[in-house]
Structure 1
Amino acid sequence: MVVADETISLLSKKLGLKLESKDVDVAHRLGKYAPNKNRPVIVKFVRQQTKIDIMQRAKLLKGTGVFINEDLTKINAEVLSSLRLKEPDLVERA
């Protein structure tokens, strides 16, 4: 679980959370390998609360080049995007 371990290490350092390998159910990279390019990583956590804690602290990653987004279907992403445009004060997270 190299991807999971590296992800846990990065999130623990940058977000100040105590994460362990047992907190991650599955983690894998997306897309084809290309030298000198970073690929997105999908992480599924064992507990929903772990994900919520990470999403709440995601703003601490600003300026680091690391981004955290929810993996939504195309239609759900469009609905969330349009809702954020119309009522930005109402939308905290998906």
Structure 2
Amino acid sequence: MAPKKSANLPDEVEEIKKSLDFLSAEIKTVAAQQNKIMELMGEIQSLKIQNIEKDKKITFLENRVADLEQYTRMNDLIISGLKTRHRSYARAAAASEDTAAGRGGADAPEVDRESLEQQVLCFLDSKGISVDSGDIEACLRSKNTTATPAIIIRFINRKKKYALIRQGRKLKGTNVYINEHLTKKNADIARRARILKKQNKIQATWSTN
């Protein structure tokens, strides 16, 4: 006996067809979304590569600027720990003393009228260190706010600078130090190196510019 045909078969077929059409549309939507996601992932990867390249370029430029900044200091030395009198203060103090003593400023002690450069040269000379003032291009205090600001000396060339560095050992025990005028970045590296030396993790440390 042949199986009995369902009276609702055409409707069931239609429902199946609609379901297949719906699934097909959903698959197309998902596929389109996947393609969009892949495109976005490609763009993100491209941006990552560009960002890495930009970071490399920024690092290169920062290092280049740091090198140029250090290069501008190649004739400089920095003296730390040396106490000096500010010229304007010295003049005011001398004038006050002169007024109290009833005499003119011409009789004020010569040391009170010395420039910063003269004070530095006088100190160095007292320690047996010879420096010709004609070899100095500039002498000024650093902008730090410590009680004893460091003093920056710029020589006319590096030979004159190294001549003073070689005499630096004569300052041993004075708490006055002569060093290269390093940038903040290089000075920090030098400071960390000195710490490692104190910890006996390295044998020696030095800087040259």
Same fold (TM over 0.5): yes
C-alpha separation in 2, matches of 1:31 and 1:83: 24
> Aligned runs of 1:21-36 on 2, under 5 Å?
21-31=133-143
Give the aligned partner of residue 183 of structure 2: 73
Q: Give yes or no for the alignment of 1:20 onto 2:132.
A: yes
> Aligned runs of 1:39-54 on 2, under 5 Å?
39-54=149-164
User: How much has 1:47 moved relative to structure 2?
Assistant: 2.5
Give the aligned partner of residue 118 of structure 2: 5
Gaps in structure 1 of 5+ consecutive residues: none
Say if 1:15 and 1:61, in contact at 8 Å, map to a contact too: no
| Partner secondary structure for residue 139 of structure 2 | strand
User: How much has 1:13 moved relative to structure 2?
Assistant: 2.6
Say if 2:139 and 2:151, in contact at 8 Å, map to a contact too: yes
C-alpha separation in 1, matches of 2:202 and 2:134: 38
The structure whose residues are more often helix, as a share, is: 2
How many residues in Structure 1 have an aligned counterpart in Structure 2?
90
Q: Deviations over 1:40-75 (max 9, x none)?
A: 111101131121011112121111121112111123
Using the aligned pairs only, state the percent identity. Answer: 27
C-alpha separation in 1, matches of 2:189 and 2:149: 26
**TM-score computed with the length of structure 2 as normaliser:** 0.36
**TM-score computed with the length of structure 1 as normaliser:** 0.69
User: How much has 1:15 moved relative to structure 2?
Assistant: 3.9
Say if 2:190 and 2:206, in contact at 8 Å, map to a contact too: no
* Code of the aligned partner of 2:149: R
C-alpha separation in 2, matches of 1:81 and 1:33: 19
Give the aligned partner of residue 168 of structure 2: 58
* Code of the aligned partner of 1:16: I
Greater relative contact order (CA < 8 Å, ≥ 6 in sequence)? 2
Gaps in structure 2 of 5+ consecutive residues: 1-113
**Highest CA radius of gyration, 1 or 2?**
2
| Partner secondary structure for residue 43 of structure 1 | strand
- Are residues 39 and 49 of structure 1, via their aligned partners in 2, closer, same or farther at CA, if it must alter by over 3 Å? same
C-alpha separation in 2, matches of 1:22 and 1:41: 18
C-alpha separation in 2, matches of 1:74 and 1:93: 13
